[in-house]
Amino acid sequence: MSKNRPIFFFKKAWNDFKNYFDVKCKCYSAEMEKEDAKKSHWICWSESDLVTQLTRFYYKRLEESGLNDIEVHINERLSPSNFEDYRFYDSLIEVKNKLNRVPRPDLIIAFENRDEPFILCAEAKCLRYSVEEVSRKERTVLNGIREDIKKLRTLRSYNVCSSIAYILLDDYYFIEEENRARVIKKRLGEYCQKYGIIKMYHTSEAKIPRATRGMK
């Protein structure tokens, strides 16, 4: 079976999630003052929530399509010792040395009971507060994205996976720091285009549509 089909349905699942997220945001915010809605966060409280919600829609798409030999794994450590029977065992050792740590992708799509490279590895960000402020400017969103992309590119370059994706839900910057939000979106788009990464980007604009007029 072509690996394009699982990825095709993964992209469909992302659209399903975005529609679901927007409907819920509109529903919740309709009962609140605009300023309160801007500060409220629903559905996804973390990267784990974001990936879990997306996976929920993905499994539904897989079931409807008859693809029953696909599995999704969340936040799994790719320790070489756990993959001794896989074709990419030696590659994982090289990846560990390259990154100076054991990689832990936020999401992995793999064929069930096959020892071949994963169909896809993905990283996710759910932005609900200022990373720069919380870390006292020791960390930035862009630096985090660059580190994530380095990890994904390394996994793909060593044939641990065939495709890579970046999932980003902006539930803060596009409201509170519009200039930074534009830079984040632009840089992510540039990285994804340059390195052949599947881009999955969304904001919570649905809860306060007027606050983000002009942002596309």
Reading the block at residue 100, the tokens are 């100076």
Name the token pair of 78: 């790719």
The model's pTM: 0.92
Tokens at residue 209, please? 């549509």
pLDDT at 141: 96
Residues contacting 147, CB < 8 A, separation 6+: none
- Supply 212's token pair: 């983000």
Q: Residue 19 CA to chain centroid, in angstroms?
A: 16
Q: How do beta strands 107-111 and 118-127 pair?
A: antiparallel
Spatial separation of the C-alpha atoms in residues 174 and 205, rounded to whole Å:
8
Looking at residue 211, its pLDDT comes to 42
92-130 residue pLDDT tens = 999 999 999 999 999 999 999 889 999 999 999 999 999
Q: By mean pLDDT, which of 26-30, 31-35, 50-54 is the weakest?
A: 31-35
Q: Look at residue 214 and tell me whether its pLDDT is greater than 60.
A: no
Q: Distances from the Cα of 136 to the Cαs of 141, 173, 194, in angstroms? A: 13, 16, 31
Give pLDDT tens digits for 140-167: 999 999 999 999 999 999 999 999 999 9
Cβ–Cβ < 8 Å for 166, 198: yes
Helices (H), 30-159: 34-39, 47-65, 89-99, 131-134, 141-157
Position 95: which residue type?
Answer: V
- What was the pLDDT predicted at 215? 41
> What residue type is 44 in one-letter code?
C
Where exactly are the structural domains of the chain?
4-212
Mean pLDDT confidence for 56-69: 95
Q: How far is CA 177 from the centre of its chain?
A: 21
Residues facing 169 on adjacent strands: 126, 202
Q: What is the largest CA-CA distance in the chain?
A: 56
Q: Give CA–CA dist 74/100, Å, rounded.
A: 21
